[in-house]
Structure 1
Amino acid sequence: MRPIVAHISLPALAHNLAQVRQYAPHAKVISVVKANGYGHGLLNVAQGLTDTDAFAVLSPSEAIALRDAGYQQPVLLLEGVFSAEQLVDVDRYRLDMVVHHAAQITWLQQATLSAPIRVFLKLDSGMHRLGFQPADYQHARTQLASCANVSDIVLMTHFANADVSNGVTQAMQTVAQVMADQPYQRSLANSAAVVQQPHTHADWVRPGIMLYGATPIAEKTAASLGLKPVMTLQSALISVQEIQAGESVGYGSLFIADKPTKVGIVACGYADGYPRHAGTGTPIAVNGKLTRTLGRVSMDMLAVDVTDIAEAQIGSPVELWGALVPVDAVAQAAGTIGYELLCAVASRVPFKVYG
């Protein structure tokens, strides 16, 4: 068996959830576990988030998986239903749903449910992705308030720029105008807003990436925010060789040594989810010591500089990302974000849950 494995830490998840509550002590927490738990495994992460007040997923199938596993907390469908037929599962599994367009209201009005459900009415406060326009929001709310299939309404929006210090100013002005003097709870804050926009916390916060120990704010490290990495992507050296000055490593000969260099080959490549565009110098750790990648990442392997790690040998452990190598640092080297790397770990990589 190849040595690559993704370790998932339940204690780190529980710690990060507790950290959310430190940032937003007066709000209830909807833990966002869509995209297969941000690549960690939906039911894996649910084990570490048993103290959450609610879960949020993308599809009814994810919600059903949580229910079948015994989770009784509210489960919110972040994009609502995609057809009237899906309301059967919403009713059967007692799910909450976002309502962001008029057709969903019509489906609710026409449905026959065993009991009313809670809906989150989404306002487009400037992101222009999903949600009712401010001019249409009150009418949508009135329709839902009079709908026999709706038990409760939570007013909701999503911020486009919560990671910028003043990035929610305009959005919050819209929220204040549209949601003022309404007898309903509100859910506004994503991870970035949880961390640095305390005036947006309201009644329900919706942390996502921060639960997994990556940063929602480019200028701040996850560690500086008190977060712990949940996933450690680990492999091992499967070859060690020495090259001379002028010799190259990998496809395209992108790395050419300027001095004698000891090169380790790691059993991990872009088919495992490691970013192909992570060039020479991307941080990596061998035997617990930080070093750098060399040359182009290939499908199943990548090269690392072990010149200054005398004990490096075949079988030496390698951390691709985790406690020593923040996933955000690898993402930055590859020109992307930590979210993408965590979500992109391939199905051929085995997962081991501990804690």
Structure 2
Amino acid sequence: MGRPTAVFVDRDAIKSNFDIAKSFSPNSKFVSVIKANAYGHGLKEVAQTLSKCTDAFGVACIEEALLIREAGIKNPVLLMEGFFSVEEIEIASKENFWLMVENQFHVDHILSSKPSQPVKVWFGIDTGMHRLGFQGREVGINFQKLEASENVQPSLVVSSHFSTADDLNSNTTKNQINNFDSSIKSNHLINYKHEQSLSNSAGLIGWSGSRRDWQRPGYLLFGNSPFVQKHEVEKVLKPAMDFKSKIISLRDISAGESVGYGQNWTAKKQTRIATVTVGYADGYPRNAENGTPTLVHGKRCPLVGRVSMDMITIDVTDIHHATIGDEVLLWGKELPVNEIAKYSNSIGWELLSRITSRVPRHYLN
């Protein structure tokens, strides 16, 4: 009943991908990163799926963390951008939300606050991404303040984030690992009670030197390779999302006739056009190029014409039995989201997280 555009999420695939992530560092603990509505897969549902597998969850903000609590899930939750207002410190204290601390604002307010119980701190170091984290002499000074505070739990996690771990041909990640270790040593942060965390998805799989006490996989949990190059891990990961719609109209056009807004595609021969009910208001990328593949009856059918708000048009000339109501796979197990992203001058992370709220999610297994 109703519009057929929908997302189908395979819970077993997510669990399988977690097991693959765990196999790369079996003695580590894991923060499963499920920010941005679990990369479009549904925050509460994915948290429920992984709650018995993972040690903790990672999100961008306290609003996302509170949704996890609303779902009845008790795992610790790391607020990966820290807190934005002082009031969040007490909420974090009560709810077992862990705080990323990476600037003077964070330190000053934690030290001056009066939480009902000490907060768990992840201490961020800028090793070269230059987005978040303490630099230079700030590292040792602020770490010592937090370590000495009764407002902070005794064991801190020292962490950083990679800028180009997805590119295995770049030396940047190796340099960042060296910068991290040098900062730990020069600021005397080595202590048995303090833990370390460096790896995101690409770091965990591609850079063994980054596998420390805590791993932070996100994108790979949903079955997608985090690398710019082809990688063996693609053979074992299971894409958890199928994004589907259906054909709602069919027509034949002659050579020289154009399709869609702006007439940016013109037929070179007699062509059968199928209209599919999905558009950029659903999260399908408006900048997807002509030729972007879809799947109909298991065969590739290229996008023709500009993506509009609610519809796209595809060439089904080679699908002789195509009819209204036929299912169209936009990306998923048989059509990687990373491939669609390349046609859209984007990345898979963006496409998944941009799927809008009007697209229903259905959960399998």
How does the TM-score come out when normalised to structure 1? 0.97
* Alignment partner, residue 103 of structure 2: 101
Q: Aligned equivalents of 1:63 and 1:269: distance in 2?
A: 30
Partner residue in 2 for 1:209: 219
Q: 1:213-258, CA deviations, whole angstroms, 9 ceiling, x for partnerless residues?
A: 2221121269625221111110000011111222221112221111
AA aligned opposite 2:12: P
Aligned partner letter, 1:87? I
> For each residue in 1:268-309, what CA deviation from the matched residue of structure 2 results, as whole angstroms up to 9, or x when unmatched?
011111011112110110122222111111111111111111
1:153 counterpart letter in structure 2: L
Cα distance in 2 for residues equivalent to 1:85 and 1:298? 43
> How far 1:317 moved relative to its partner?
0.3
1:242 is aligned, of 233, 252, 259, to 252
Is 205-214 or 163-172 further displaced after alignment? 163-172
Other-structure match for 1:123: 125
Match of 2:137 in 1: 135
The answer to which of 314-323 and 14-23 deviates more is 14-23
Q: Does structure 1 retain, via aligned residues, the 8 Å contact 2:167–2:228? A: no
CA–CA distance in structure 1, aligned partners of residues 235 and 326 of structure 2: 31
Indicate the larger mover: 51-60 or 220-229: 220-229
TM-score, normalised by the number of residues in structure 2:
0.94
Q: Does 2:42 correspond to 1:27?
A: no
Residue aligned with 1:248, SS: coil
For residue 113 of structure 1, report the CA deviation from its aligned partner.
1.8
What amino acid maps onto 1:144 in structure 2?
L
CA distance in 1 between partners of 2:116 and 2:156 (Å): 18
Q: Is the 8 A contact 1:35 1:58 kept in 2?
A: yes
Asked whether 1:176 is paired with 2:184, we answer no
Distance (Å, rounded) in 2 between the aligned partners of 1:193 and 1:134: 23
Aligned AA for 1:308?
A: D
1:159 corresponds to which residue?
A: 162
Q: Which residue of 1 aligns with 2:345?
A: 335
SS at match of 1:186: strand
CA contact (8 A) 1:134 1:174 kept: no
For 1:294, what is the secondary structure of its paired residue?
A: coil
- Structure 1: tracts of 5 or more residues without a match: none
Paired with 1:291 and 1:219, the residues of 2 have a C-alpha distance of 25
SS in 2 for 1:150: coil
2:283 and 2:166 map into 1 onto residues whose CA distance is 26
User: Counterpart in 1 of 2:289?
Assistant: 279
Matched position secondary structure for 1:71: coil
Q: Distance in 2 between matches of 1:222 and 1:231?
A: 20
On the 8 A contact 1:290/1:324 being kept in 2, the answer is no
**In structure 2, how many angstroms separate the alpha carbons of the residues matched to 1:216 and 1:274?**
20
Structure-2 separation of matches of 1:64 and 1:252: 44
CA distance in 2, matches of 1:272, 1:222: 32
Q: Report whether the alignment pairs 1:308 with 2:311.
A: no
The match for 2:241 is 231
Q: Aligned equivalents of 1:276 and 1:320: distance in 2?
A: 13
Check the 8 A contact 1:246/1:258 in 2, yes or no: yes
**Counterpart in 2 of 1:36?**
37
Counterpart residue type for residue 299 of structure 1: M
RMSD, matched Cα: 1.4
Q: Does 1:353 align with 2:363?
A: yes
Q: Which residue of 2 aligns with 1:325?
A: 335
Q: For residues 265-276 of structure 1, what are the structure 2 equivalents within 5 Å?
A: 265-276=275-286
| 8 A contact 2:36–2:60 mirrored in 1 | yes
Matched with 1:218 is: 228
Distance 1:64 1:269 in 2: 31
Structure 1 residues 145 and 225, CA gap change in structure 2 (3 angstroms): farther
Q: Does 1:57 align with 2:45?
A: no
